[in-house]
Amino acid sequence: MIWAGPVSAANLAGAALPAPARVLTVNHGDGGIGSTAFGNLGRRFGGDLAEFCGSRGVDLDRCQTVTLAAFSAGFALLETFLRNPDSAARVDALVAGDAYYTGPNMAVKPGYASFCARAAAGRALAVLSTSAIAGPDYPSSQAALAPLMAPLDLRPVRVPDAIPEPASAVAIGGLYWLRYGTKYGVGRPGHVMHAARVVPAVLSAMVTPYLQNRAGLDGKDPSGAGAALAAAGLIVALTENL
């Protein structure tokens, strides 16, 4: 698992992750903690997820399942991976905790869009949570994500009780959009809660069962030769400074 930014691994201490799960922490992008820095970091590797992980001592080929998770500015690194066809093909699940931001033009990000279409068709899992918190020169993640989701036939859905209740939630196939709006605040607390509460809960209640099913574990503990490799998951999570 990759959990990036000054959010501590302790934020995920209560999350039920695939067992065993490899955790890789990424604290900064290239030259900072904003979206430009995270994007530059990914571009330095050409969006090659295997090369990026290898530079940090993780052999991607030893991970049967791969999840990318991001908070806030971390979306920019994930986008570089999802734009790379070979990298995107290795990803099983995406978790974006208030992690989809654009400029005022709200142009759709092609990497995210492609992976969400794959999830909507039932070939992957994507869970995106958004708030209505915006900055002085950029829209909220909820507003920014709307153009990407508009062409999809999303229907109302209930999320597992373990996940903080959103103002509304819609889904199609394996694609879920949890819309929190201003339900948990209009400032920093309403943003940070996606990293501190929403992402860990989504990993536990939605991602891990999905990955266990893909690995043929059906929610059971693995046993026998090769079980460690069969159960191993890599979760790539990126965040800005909290």
Residue-wise pLDDT tens digits, 148-202:
999 999 999 999 999 999 999 999 999 999 999 999 998 889 999 999 999 999 9
User: In terms of residues, how long is the chain?
Assistant: 242
**DSSP class per residue in 109-149:** PHHHHHHHHHHHTTSSEEEEEEES--BTTB--HHHHHHHHH
Q: How far apart are CA 222 and CA 128, in angstroms?
A: 29
Q: Is 168 within 8 Å of 179 (Cβ atoms)?
A: yes
223: in domain: no
Q: What is the pLDDT of residue 233?
A: 66
Q: What is the pLDDT of residue 15?
A: 86
Q: What is the mean pLDDT of residues 87-97?
A: 95
Inter-axis angle of helices 110-120 and 75-83, nearest 10: 70
225: in domain: no
Q: What is the pLDDT of residue 14?
A: 80
118: in domain: yes
Strand partners for 156: 170
Strand partners for 32: none
85: in domain: yes
Q: How far apart are CA 96 and CA 56, in angstroms?
A: 22
Lowest model confidence (mean pLDDT) among 41-50, 56-65, 140-149, 197-206:
56-65
pLDDT band for 56, please (50, 70, 90 cuts): confident
Q: What is the pLDDT of residue 13?
A: 74
- The rounded mean pLDDT for the chain is 86
Q: How far apart are CA 205 and CA 187, in angstroms?
A: 26
How far is C-alpha 143 from the geometric centre of its chain's CA atoms? 18
Q: What is the pLDDT of residue 27?
A: 66
Look at residue 89 and tell me whether its pLDDT is greater than 50.
yes
Q: What is the model's pTM?
A: 0.90
Place of tokens 């530079």: 55
Beta-strand relationship, 168-172 and 155-156: antiparallel
Look at residue 88 and tell me whether its pLDDT is greater than 50.
yes
Closest by CA position to 170, among listed 183, 155, 185, 181: 155
Where in the sequence is the domain holding 125, given as residue range(s)? 2-217+232-238
Q: What is the mean pLDDT of residues 220-226?
A: 34
pLDDT band for 8, please (50, 70, 90 cuts): low
Q: What is the mean pLDDT of residues 31-59?
A: 93
5 or 156, which is more confident: 156
pLDDT band for 237, please (50, 70, 90 cuts): low
226: in domain: no
46: in domain: yes
Q: What is the mean pLDDT of residues 9-35?
A: 78
- What the block records as the tokens of 183 is 């339900």
Q: Is 170 within 8 Å of 155 (Cβ atoms)?
A: yes
- What the block records as the tokens of 50 is 């295997």
pLDDT band for 64, please (50, 70, 90 cuts): confident
224: in domain: no
Lowest model confidence (mean pLDDT) among 115-129, 181-195, 211-225:
211-225
163 or 29, which is more confident: 163
Q: How many domains does the chain have?
A: 1
- Percent of the chain predicted with pLDDT > 90: 64
Closest by CA position to 93, among listed 21, 178, 155, 174: 174
222: in domain: no
Look at residue 231 and tell me whether its pLDDT is greater than 70.
no
